[in-house]
């Protein structure tokens, strides 16, 4: 039995729009303030401060370029640079095959950069909480400049925002026994995760230079970034580097880690496709290849493992060193950092983007027979009746036809149900707040459809919440008016909850700066009641967790 591939690439066009928002399409500032150089690991940097006193520092090297002998090796400190480094320009993003039509950023293997946004002079004695963002993109795509930290800093006036690049795809997650010798600890298949931790260590060493408090760090991420946060929560090496966590769509999903055998199979497939298996040293052969060529070959060799454990070359590896067991097993056993408060959530229509090809072929007109055929193919004929009973048209308000019912069959096992499992695991030990994002955006740019070539709504699709959390409309000249007035208020509310949590570890407590009061009390999730805050229009509301009946069935059948 094989499962359908989860929508881990969903929302990448929205992320492309966000990349544009964070970069050249941001509003120009003709009244920039003087900003003295800042000393960090590696040397002096100089960023730019806007008229509102928000300073940005882009393209800061936090590690040496992972090239030559450092390809498939743990990150190392950057070399010192002479003079003052220009931090007003973004650094290269890591090699990838991303759909980023609005960005002209170069892709380069020398890509381990981070970005900082901070309020000028507002954080005496390094007192400002730090928001450390890990981007999503199936561990294969994306960058730290998919988002822009300006609005968070403007709203609260007392936070510092950090975003990072980390190695992606085959360059970040190739795993093989033959690679273990490149790491003193013998780890393999988790170089991107090691990059993330190295950037977190950089924050501990340097963030006070920007007014940030190294003892008050929030790590948060979406999709693969959310799964990365979960990875750090179950890894003792990361334990001392953060103090609270937010996971948006993706923690503990089955696609978020793979067994060593899967990694070995994929590595052998790439070596064969690259003709590096002809009796010589496969690692030496692959290490000598151009990064772009290697990436192309790895994608063409994607045959092995395109099943339960997700997309090849885009998942961390259970190698026995960096990752001792699957993260969901660690969480279930209580082997995670119980000292940090947690906020997690999921979107109502996580499965729609993963249904794009089906929507192109059939539109929204699936029959019950189509539904049964798809279920049998994805989960096996023995489960058709159970799934049919749980997702029958009309049994939930969202199940308006067989197409929409199947989008939930497709999305629930990889997103909704793992989110519930995580909430249930954490609530036994620690305070946890859970959200359910249910609003269908009216303001998504027409060129940034949830699924190119599909006429129709993707609902509250995977990554749809990001444009609200980050209030990206305020930083864009191309789509400054895409949101309606009530959507703008929803965005302000969502940003305020995230900021309040970053500052006070509670989304309900005003951050002490500006505009962070919230209109609806967010209930703590309890193991017995399962309360969540639903983000929707016309109003926010506290509700019971949705999809309980469906996830009971999925968990009982051990799907996917």
Residues paired with residue 40 on neighbouring β-strands, in sequence order: 43
Residues 402-422: tens digit of each pLDDT: 999 999 999 999 899 999 999
Compute CA distances 110 → 65, 91, 220, 286, whole Å.
4, 9, 24, 17
pLDDT digits (tens, 9 = 90+) for 147-194: 999 999 999 889 999 999 999 999 999 999 999 999 999 999 999 999
Residue 96: Cβ within 10 Å count: 23
Q: List strand residue ranges (DSSP E) for 3-111, in order.
A: 38-40, 43-46, 48-49, 54-61, 84-86
Which CATH code is given to the segment(s) 12-557? Answer: 3.40.50.1820
User: Which residues are 541's β-sheet partners?
Assistant: 534
Q: Which of 3, 140, 223, 228 is catalytic?
A: 223
Structure tokens at 62: 């936090």
* Cα–Cα distances in angstroms (integers) from residue 432 to residues 424, 481, 501, 530, 533, in the given order: 9, 35, 11, 10, 12
Question: Which pLDDT does position 455 carry in this prediction?
Answer: 56
Task: Please give the Cα distance from 263 to 268 (Å, whole number).
Answer: 9
Confidence of residue 10 (pLDDT cuts 50, 70, 90): very low
Give pLDDT, residue 314: 72
Q: Cis peptide before 549, with omega less than 30 degrees from 0?
A: no
Tokens matching residue 317: 């590896």
pLDDT value for 445: 52
Is 505 tagged catalytic?
Answer: no
98-144: pLDDT as tens digits? 554 446 788 999 999 999 999 998 888 889 999 999 999 989 999 99
3-state secondary structure of 212: strand
Whether the CB-CB separation of 504 and 498 falls below 8 Å is answered with no
The backbone torsions φ and ψ at residue 317, rounded to the nearest 5 degrees and listed phi first, read -115, 135
Gap between the Cα atoms of 484 and 246, Å rounded: 27
For 218, the 3-state DSSP assignment is strand
Which band of pLDDT confidence, cut at 50, 70 and 90, is reported for residue 24?
A: very low
Residues paired with 222 in a beta bridge = 248
**Could you report the per-residue pLDDT of 217-237, keeping only the tens digit for each?**
999 999 999 999 999 999 999
* CA 229 – CA 403 distance, rounded (Å): 32
Whether omega before 265 lies within 30 degrees of 0, making that bond cis, reads: no
Sign of CA dihedral 210, 212, 218, 219: positive
Residue 384 tokens, joined: 């058709």
Decide: helix, strand or coil at residue 199: helix
Among 154, 311, 322, 350, the one annotated catalytic:
350
Enter the DSSP assignment of 143. Answer: -
CA 373 centroid distance within chain: 32
Say if residues 273 and 297 touch (Cβ distance below 8 Å).
Answer: yes
Does residue 350 carry a catalytic annotation?
yes
The token duo for 469 is: 């959390």
Q: How many CA atoms lie within 13 A of 84 on its CB side?
A: 11
Outline where DSSP puts E strands in 438-526.
Answer: none
DSSP reduced 3-state for 396? coil
pLDDT for position 477: 47
Q: Is the dihedral of CA 548, 554, 555, 560 positive or negative?
A: negative
Please tell me the predicted confidence (pLDDT) of residue 25: 40
């Amino acid at each position: 039995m094989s499962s359908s591939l989860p929508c881990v690439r969903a929302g990448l066009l929205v992320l492309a729009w966000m990349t544009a928002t964070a970069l050249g399409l941001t509003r120009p500032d003709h009244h920039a303030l003087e900003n003295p150089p800042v000393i960090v690991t590696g040397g002096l940097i100089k960023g730019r401060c806007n008229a509102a006193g928000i300073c940005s520092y882009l393209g800061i090297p936090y590690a040496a370029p992972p090239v030559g002998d450092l390809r498939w090796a743990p990150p190392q400190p950057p070399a010192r640079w002479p003079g003052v480094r220009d931090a007003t320009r973004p650094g290269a993003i890591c090699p990838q095959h991303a759909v980023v039509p609005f960005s002209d950023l170069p892709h380069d293997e020398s890509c381990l950069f981070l970005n900082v946004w901070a309020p000028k002079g507002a954080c005496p004695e390094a007192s400002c909480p730090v928001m450390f963002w890990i981007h999503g993109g199936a561990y294969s795509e994306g960058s730290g400049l998919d988002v822009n930290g300006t609005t968070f800093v403007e709203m609260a006036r007392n936070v510092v925002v950090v975003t990072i690049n980390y190695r992606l795809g085959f360059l970040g997650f190739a795993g093989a026994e033959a690679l273990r010798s490149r790491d003193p600890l013998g780890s393999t298949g988790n170089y991107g995760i090691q990059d993330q931790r190295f950037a977190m260590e950089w924050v501990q060493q340097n963030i006070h230079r920007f007014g940030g408090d190294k003892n008050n760090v929030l790590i948060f991420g979406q999709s693969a970034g959310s799964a990365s946060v979960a990875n750090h929560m179950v890894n003792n090496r990361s334990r001392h580097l953060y103090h609270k966590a937010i996971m948006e769509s993706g923690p503990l999903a089955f696609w978020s880690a793979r067994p060593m055998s899967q990694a070995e199979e994929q590595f052998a497939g790439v070596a064969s496709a690259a003709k590096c298996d002809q009796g010589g040293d496969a690692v030496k052969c692959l290490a000598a290849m151009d990064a772009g060529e290697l990436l192309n070959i790895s994608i063409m060799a994607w045959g092995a493992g395109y099943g339960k454990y997700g997309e090849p070359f885009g998942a961390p590896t259970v190698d026995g060193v960096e990752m001792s067991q699957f993260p969901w097993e660690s969480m279930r056993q209580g082997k995670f950092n119980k000292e940090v408060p947690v906020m997690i959530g999921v979107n109502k229509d996580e499965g729609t983007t993963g249904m794009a090809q089906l929507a192109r072929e059939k539109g929204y007109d699936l029959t019950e027979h189509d539904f049964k055929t798809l279920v049998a193919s994805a989960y096996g004929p023995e489960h058709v009746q159970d799934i049919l009973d749980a997702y029958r048209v009309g049994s939930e308000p969202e199940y308006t036809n067989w197409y929409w019912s199947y989008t939930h069959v497709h999305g629930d096992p990889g997103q909704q149900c793992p989110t519930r499992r995580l909430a249930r695991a954490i609530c036994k030990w620690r305070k946890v707040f859970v959200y359910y994002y249910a609003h269908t955006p009216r303001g998504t740019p027409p060129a940034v459809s949830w699924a190119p070539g599909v006429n129709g709504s993707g609902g509250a699709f995977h990554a749809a919440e990001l444009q609200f959390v980050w209030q990206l409309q305020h930083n864009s000249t191309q789509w400054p008016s895409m949101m309606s007035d009530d959507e703008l208020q929803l965005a302000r509310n969502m940003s305020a909850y995230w900021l309040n949590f970053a500052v006070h570890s509670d989304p309900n407590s005003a951050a002490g700066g500006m505009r962070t009061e919230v209109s609806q009390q967010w209930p703590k999730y309890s193991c017995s009641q399962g309360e969540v805050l639903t983000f929707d229009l016309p109003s926010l509301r506290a509700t019971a967790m949705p999809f309980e009946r469906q996830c009971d069935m999925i968990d009982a059948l051990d799907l996917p």
